[in-house]
Amino acid sequence: QVQLVESGGGLVQAGGSLRLSCAASGRTFSNYAMGWFRQAPGKEREFVAAISWNADSTYYADSVKGRFAISRDNPKNTVYLQMNSLKPEDTAVYYCAARYRVYSITSRDYPYWGQGTQVTVSS
């Protein structure tokens, strides 16, 4: 089992920045690829970003490319999502997820999930 706890969400004005953190415990963190997903009210959960187990590969949704950056600190068992130039359409609950070794952009491929953190961007 991998336990995940997100933090860092909040209310921010459009154009502002937030950094989300996801702390992992349980299995060896460095064995797991990590993903960030988000879900807005009335919408399906969507992929945001992913990072490989050793951080040599990242992938972003087109909607956040150039504005968001995913990173990880394996000794600290933590993955981050730096969000810049935030827009009202970025408002959602953000979830981190873990998958053994290989990341995916499909939420159902991830067996481990955090509880989510709310991000609200005001216009």
Percent of the chain residues past pLDDT 70, beyond the cut: 100
Confidence at residue 101, expressed as pLDDT on a 0 to 100 scale: 92
- pLDDT at 27 > cutoff 90: no
Mean pLDDT for 94-112 is 97
C-alpha 86/C-alpha 78 separation (Å) is 22
Mean pLDDT for 13-37 is 96
Yes or no: say if 51 and 103 are a contact pair by the CB < 8 Å rule: yes
Residue 42: both structure tokens together: 């009335």
DSSP summary character for residue 120: E
